Chains A and B, each alone.
Chain A
Amino acid sequence: MSEETQRNVRCLVAKVGLDGHDRGAHVITRAFRDAGFEVIYSGLHKAPEEIVQAAVQEDVDVLGISILSGAHNTLVPKIIEGLEEYDAFGDTLVIVGGIIPDEDRSELEAAGVDAIFGPGTPMAETVEFIEDNVPRRD
């Protein structure tokens, strides 16, 4: 193992808005950790601005937004706008997990979400998606 580079996938698991259910976020945080990722967990009830701040300052490769409240159509685009403001959108993989009705998917994808994982998605699938799609930097 060379000292030369020590790159780890950095990931922010974010809970946004008035949504107090974080079991899913905890489970995914743990799975990401076990996959060798460095995971920053936002904690509950964060405003979109806080998520943007964390994503920018922590320079994460992946932003995973967990949302079960139904407010994804307003909150997710707000976060993406914030990332754009700090030039952080282009090379951040944005994924959404939670309850997203089928008819909302295309709108979120158009807003810049790279993938949406609904309930019952095997953990390995999400991890694999990240490993395959994490932006190459430097």
Chain B
Amino acid sequence: MAIDQPELVSDLLAGKHRALARAITKIENRTPGYREVVSALYPHTGNADVIGITGSPGSGKSTLVDKLAKQYRDQGLTVGVIAVDPSSPFTGGAVLGDRIRMAATATDMDVFFRSMSARGSLGGLSTATADAVKALDAFGKDKIIIETVGAGQNEVDVVKTADTVAVLVPPSSGDDVQMLKAGILEIGDVFVVNKADLDGANKTVTELRNMLDLRDGEEGDWDPEIAETIAKDGTGVPELMDLFEAHADWLDESGRREEKRHTRYAEELRNLLREDASELLEDELEARGGIDELVARIDDGETTPYEVADDVVAPVREALGD
């Protein structure tokens, strides 16, 4: 019982959960035709607030997401969640476990929760996530939360597709040198010291504040805020939501929302072009007898990866008139 393209889009826009779920599957699988679906959804996007939440495993992301979803629902808002979990680089298999924490909003179909594995590579994951967010947005969700394990570049790219990024920092998560590590301080709009009832929470807040004070922000930049929460009982969650609101207002007032959107479109376009180009080159590789054939010559010391790459790309370069 395949649902064809236009019907899938119109069903989604009509509020059918099944169609939304199927559209996200198409996006994830890069099923032929998924681009038409996303293109058709585009005009219906831009109404949702997108919040990215990242942090180390066990920092309480899923529990916090559950509480946020509940609070938004209590305000009469609809919620979409995309939770990204790692997948095995060997089998492609994955256990997607974030859903277990969605207790407060269980059986509430107005919270659409979708687990995604990080199977996409080379920026593919952030493209897939951004497109899945568009599907939720077009469906009419008011708040969309993207949840990822903040372990590497891939995940950082994913949360960058959000308007507001919250970084969870568990108490006693290392000294201030850890916090200097790449990315963490730069990507957060709000830092959340979760499990604030544990020892070391105050120290972590102080260290964070010190590190944030050392940033060279430019005039008019957003000053990252620090929130303390205890996700499991909901303490501090309303205050955190106020900070999200404040950041959203700042985005609007400063004109940064447009700027961000522009940067994001540019990034999406780059990713698509990279993907398309590499696909064209895959075909070219096949035409030359497959990658193993070429690598065999490298194995034998006849040539180098650089020479082969140059050679394979040559027709493209020519066609583009370089």
- A residues sitting closer than 8 Å to B (CB atoms) are 2-8, 10, 29-30, 32-43, 46-47, 49-50, 53-54, 56-59, 86-88, 90-91, 137-138
Contact = CB atoms under 8 A, between A and B. Distances in A.
Interface of B: 1-2, 16-18, 21-22, 24-26, 28-33, 87-88, 91-97, 99-100, 106-107, 109, 112-115, 117, 119-120, 124, 275, 278-279, 282
A38 B30 CA distance: 16
A41 B97 contact: yes
Given A49-B107, A53-B107, A58-B115, A6 B100 contact: no
Contacts of B93: 8, 32-39
A44 B17 CA distance: 24
A36 B119 CA distance: 11
Given A54-B113, A86-B18, 9 more contacts: A8-B29, A8-B93, A38-B115, A39-B93, A39-B95, A40-B95, A40-B115, A137-B2, A138-B32
Nearest to B97: A41
Contact of A59 (B2, B25, B33): B25
Given A53-B109, A57-B112, A59-B22, A41 B279 contact: no
Contacts of B278: 3
Given A35-B91, A91-B1, A3 B30 contact: yes
Contacts of A36: 91-93
Contacts of B96: 38-41, 58
A35 to B, nearest CB: 6
B119 A6 contact: yes
A57 B114 contact: yes
